[in-house]
Chain A
């Protein structure tokens, strides 16, 4: 039960002299601190952090946690984010000694178990992508995009080609143009067809000797498979460019079709989404990339390689391997320090090892089944411009409802919170007015989907004026974002 009194900031709870951590006294010979570090390099006093006991800290943060919706407590159909169940075994296993406490500069000899996990992860991600070379370095999907663009850039430089442009459809995630700009490319945004697909004429007109990469999310951000993708890939390849597949929607197609098989040259995964990282209130992510073999030498490293050890004589003895770290020969270099977001990769490894090949395909099949079922349950009350079929998610438009009754996508989203459902993604993709993007994932039951559809029906029958002021049951309602931006208060300060 929520403790409704708990609204104070941690700083309000501070009392001089309290503490929540005590260290042992020093066991080495005492020397004046001045002899160790000159006073001029030291601060006059310790930082003015709050002073609390452990019980106070625990009660404060546990109470704060109850102000969140989460996958473990609520249906969380946040489109494009794949908010699936996070298996508890992952937390235990990623926390095992020898895994959670392994230092990144631990010797290769004393990291063989970890390197085996990471090597197998590379192999599994290559197989699911249909692209043979994998780097696990990128910290998140957006960094995966950036990394792949740098990889493409190094490849073209090697070919002696100057290609300056990155193309993407206007339904793309904002990270695509942002990553392209960060990688030094000129961004060219293409109009989509009325149905939200890649417009082949637009693409044809934009492609030329300046085209480095065409970035496309497939299934696209409307949750539809780009049928023309082989033709798109051929056009891009004929122009000398590379095709990048944004793997945001991989949950729809694993084991069914592969980016490498439908024309992609490079892609990123979101391990925290597709392979249930988990999401951690905004991160950490993990964004490995997979590329075609001719791009493999340019990948950032280190990557893990496996060598067979010489047989130890006994006939029929199992083959033994040694794992090593290697920097690809023409690597673009590092994109972060250390190996990668290993803690998330270990969880992804556990997930793939639990599911196996049939389970991975079953995951995508059931994600698509759930999304289509919810679409079928909702389409008569909530207009879905893309029609009556989708992949793992669909995008409804509240535009007709807004025009008729003044109820916006935001109103529906906010009111859903009162019904005990996290809101879908709203106002994305930008190509759909009043967009409501719903991704149920495979780990939800039909009962939950039915209850969600019922809630939407009830909401649409409610008084619009009441909806404009929703939510009504949450700890706060409709924060003043304009005020927050106009006079930003970004930290607590002691009252003077």
Chain B
């Protein structure tokens, strides 16, 4: 039997030490009537050799970017991951450890997360970062709850229509139970109309939720939007793309109060949607309202610099129903990946990656819109992602590209919450630093 150490002989001796005759007897606490009187109905056990060929077979039924070219976006991206990231994340001492409850036995993890928090602050220009949340969508909801606590306004939240529709759905799910009104400001032009946002927020609004670059790839007027929130005493919550900060203004510079992100781009593979990395940062004054783990620096008994889980009085295992969140795990391994990724890239590497995304995305947009029936949906400036309007239907374009080995999307028809008329004509395209001119040209040729 796999992964068990004790031999039948040892098992007998152990039972003797315990003072019972059989393993069955150990389960006496479970009333006989509740026992499952049959074997579980599970598929047959496989050896490692069999399991590997089974998984290879299943993997081959999927479309890997190795065989297909990935222009898919919408919150998960095919960015390059340096081998050094995998090397560190596969260190046993990191991936088979748990939450650093015992600081003395976990300084590796604790220091790495302290460095993560510091790097994320450098990246965003924000004052404080926690040690990570589940992923980008729940990070938005956690930020909204945090804004409610910080403003003591619990009845109204305003969110732009250009926020990722799945993030918005998560927010709706989270807010439904507590009678909080979620007002969505439509963005038919691809970006928010600042005047409309000013009208939508009021002195009951806990926060305004902005995404930059937004779901359509467009750049919002963040400075003006943040000002509109602040004018009514609401907090500005910004969901950003970490790679874009190699080039774009940082949330800390334009006045965000809470900045969150999907951190998958920072060295975590796409793996069909998770596990990813929820980044959450804020201004100093809100630190005790934060959800999730925080690592702090201190000294030990001998005065040595070291790191501990800090401000745990906010957390569920101490505060129970009064905790700032129910979250009990962070995304340790993904936070570690981001830490190594940012350490490798440094300012120059991140800047290069961001610039390559921008240049290639603009080239791709130019070329794709040269195809008849395809145009840019919006006029606003964009970063690595843009939305196409396909007059003959987005599905047709996706199918045509797909047949030639190129994956585009997501098409907006899949989202109930995309908020556009004729959603079936719209299509998001993402271009990372990995894409080449040859691939873009071949895609365009396939669509002609």
Contacts and interface: CB of A to CB of B under 8 A. Distances in A.
A99 B271 CA distance: 6
Given A67-B111, A106-B407, A340 B273 contact: yes
A43 to B, nearest CB: 5
A339 B79 CA distance: 20
Interface stretch (B3-11, B193-201, B227-235): B3-11
Given A42-B248, A57-B343, A283-B332, A423 B122 contact: no
Contact of B42 (A99, A253, A343, A356): A356
Interface string B288-326: 000001111111111011111011010111111111011
Nearest to A377: B17
A71 to B, nearest CB: 4
A284 B82 contact: no
Nearest to A112: B61
B298 A483 contact: yes
15 contacts: A7-B305, A18-B346, A20-B84, A29-B363, A57-B84, A62-B91, A181-B322, A183-B177, A227-B29, A280-B333, A361-B39, A373-B14, A476-B107, A476-B302, A476-B304
B287 interface: yes
B98 to A, nearest CB: 4
A43 B253 contact: yes
A58 B6 CA distance: 37
Nearest to A354: B2
B82 A258 contact: no
Question: Nearest 6 A-B pairs (CB), nearest first?
Answer: A338-B273, A356-B45, A110-B63, A113-B61, A284-B275, A98-B59
Contacts of B129: 490-491
B90 interface: yes
Residue picked from A91, A175, A177, most chain B C-beta under 10 Å: A175
Nearest to A282: B332
Contacts of B344: 20-21, 52, 54, 57
Contacts of B61: 98, 112-114, 116
B170 A335 contact: yes
Contact of A97 (B2, B64, B296): B64
B262 interface: yes
Contact of A83 (B26, B30, B98, B103): B98
A488 B296 contact: yes
A142 B300 contact: no
B445 interface: no
Contacts of B342: 49
B123 interface: yes
Nearest to A230: B34
A100 B269 contact: yes
A21 B136 CA distance: 26
Interface in B58-81: 58-66, 68, 70, 72, 74-76, 78
A93 B55 contact: yes
Interface stretch (B161-169, B203-211, B368-376, B418-426): B161-169
B106 interface: yes
Interface string A398-428: 0000000000000001100100001101001
A227 B31 contact: yes
Contacts of B88: 57-58, 61-62, 65
Interface stretch (A31-39, A202-210, A308-316, A457-465): A31-39
B321 to A, nearest CB: 4
Contact of B104 (A24, A414, A444): A414
A51 interface: yes
Is the contact region of chain A dominated by helix, strand, or loop, or is it mixed?
Answer: loop
A102 interface: yes
B336 interface: yes
Given A61-B340, A76-B98, A255-B39, A67 B29 contact: no
Contacts of B287: 488, 490
A86 B438 CA distance: 42
B272 A104 contact: yes
A49 B173 contact: no
A97 B56 CA distance: 8
B378 to A, nearest CB: 14
Contact of A113 (B60, B176, B307): B60
Interface in B97-124: 97-109, 111-115, 117-119, 121-124
A36 B132 CA distance: 32
Given A49-B122, A140-B134, A334-B173, A37 B29 contact: no
A335 B270 CA distance: 19
Contacts of B345: 19-21, 49
Contacts of A443: 3-5
Contact of A33 (B13, B328, B358): B358
Interface in B339-382: 339-340, 342-353, 355-356, 358-360, 362-363, 381-382
Contacts of B136: 337
Contacts of A183: 177
Contacts of B118: 9, 11, 491-493
Given A86-B95, A490-B117, A104 B273 contact: yes
Contacts of B321: 177-178, 180-181, 187
A342 B272 contact: yes
Interface string A54-80: 100110111011111111111010100
B177 A150 contact: yes
B96 A48 contact: no
